[in-house]
């Protein structure tokens, strides 16, 4: 697991998250129907490099892009070629990671455009609500099961499909680390959380059953994860620092902290 060792590393981690959160605010402003996901990917990579950091997803497990784009039934690991255009009516998530001086941050934003129907609106709203329900459970001494139970409660109450084949994770000194954070479970169970530990909480949700399949992308070694029933999906994520009294959401920054 990644427990931050000293104040210098903590400040570098915070800056890594600041770069990433600043980027994602820009992606959110630029994303619109007709925009190429490939152009957003190019922007994302240049922004990260301009801030003396590295895109941590590019090349990771063979993934070829800096910015992951997940459109409609794509739950995670969607490709971002120039030819992938944001449609008029859709749900889309953008996932990205930054490495700054050896410290990793991870974030996914969830957007919607046009007419996605009442069920689609519920999916977007409750996926975001579930993320924050999980975050609010974070505190040194609590258990991973507390996070999962809180996330799942929101989803079950609203009849949404919880994707349990995937989950959140530790990070900080690595892009992915222990513990695995399933977004379900029983409160008071699972690995304990420690002060200065870094975790990513990232509900993945569908309008269907929550079951997924893994579609190989020829020539890349990467599998795009999609809802098995073709239903709309949603994904959102923050990097969270565990503190003695609670949590610090490192990728949730005010506008005045956004980098140019």
pLDDT band at 229 (very low <50, low <70, confident <90, very high): very high
Q: Would you say 202 and 42 are in contact if contact means Cβ atoms under 8 Å apart?
A: no
Closest CA to 196 of 119, 139, 121: 139
Q: What is the pTM of this model?
A: 0.96
Closest CA to 126 of 226, 29, 28, 204: 204
Whether the per-residue pLDDT at 175 is higher than 90: the answer is yes
- The one-character DSSP state at 255 is G
- Under CATH, what is the fold of the domain 7-252? Creatine Amidinohydrolase (3.90.230)
Go through the chain and tell me how many residues it has. Answer: 260
Output the average pLDDT for the chain. 96
Could you tell me which residues are beta bridge partners of residue 104?
99
Residue 59's region, left for phi above 0, alpha for psi from -120 to 50, else beta, is: left
- Taking the C-alpha atoms of residue 31 and residue 147, their distance in angstroms, rounded to an integer, is 30
Query: Domain residues of the chain, as ranges?
Result: 7-252
Whether the per-residue pLDDT at 17 is higher than 90: the answer is yes
- Per the structure block, which two tokens stand in for 239? 């990097």
CA-CA-CA-CA torsion sign (183, 128, 53, 70): positive
Q: Please calculate the CA angle 144-192-252 and round it to the nearest 5 degrees.
A: 55
What digits encode the pLDDT tens for the residues 38-61? 999 999 999 999 999 999 999 998
The contacts of residue 29 (CB under 8 Å, 6+ apart) are: none
What is the pLDDT, as a whole number, of residue 134? 98
- Per the structure block, which two tokens stand in for 151? 């996330």
Radius of gyration (C-alpha) of the chain in whole angstroms: 17
- The one-character DSSP state at 59 is T
Helix%, strand%, coil% for the chain, nearest 5: 30, 30, 40
């Amino acid at each position: 697991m990644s427990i931050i060792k000293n104040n210098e590393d903590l400040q570098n981690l915070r800056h890594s998250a600041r770069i990433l959160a600043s980027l994602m605010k820009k992606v959110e402003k630029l994303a619109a129907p007709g925009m190429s996901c490939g152009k957003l990917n190019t922007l994302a990579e240049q922004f990260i490099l301009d801030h003396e950091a590295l895109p941590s997803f590019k090349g990771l497990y063979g993934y070829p892009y800096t910015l992951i784009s997940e459109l409609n039934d794509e739950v995670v690991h969607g490709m971002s070629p120039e030819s992938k255009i944001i449609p008029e009516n859709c749900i889309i998530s953008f996932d990205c990671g930054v490495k700054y001086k050896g410290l990793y941050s991870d974030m996914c934003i969830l957007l919607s455009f046009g007419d996605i129907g009442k069920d689609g609106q519920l999916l977007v709203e409750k996926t975001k609500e579930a993320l924050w329900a999980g975050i609010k459970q974070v505190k040194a001494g609590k258990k991973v099961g507390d996070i999962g139970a809180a996330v799942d409660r929101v989803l079950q109450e609203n009849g949404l499909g919880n994707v349990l084949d995937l989950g959140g994770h530790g990070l900080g000194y690595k892009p992915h680390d222990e513990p695995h954070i399933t977004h379900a479970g029983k409160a008071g169970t699972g690995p304990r959380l420690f002060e200065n530990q870094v975790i990513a909480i990232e509900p993945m949700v569908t309008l269907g059953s929550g079951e997924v399949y893994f579609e190989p992308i020829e020539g890349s070694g990467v599998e795009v994860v999609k809802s098995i029933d073709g239903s709309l999906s949603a994904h959102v994520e923050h990097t969270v620092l565990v503190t003695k009294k609670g949590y610090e959401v490192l990728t949730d920054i005010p506008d005045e902290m956004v980098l140019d």
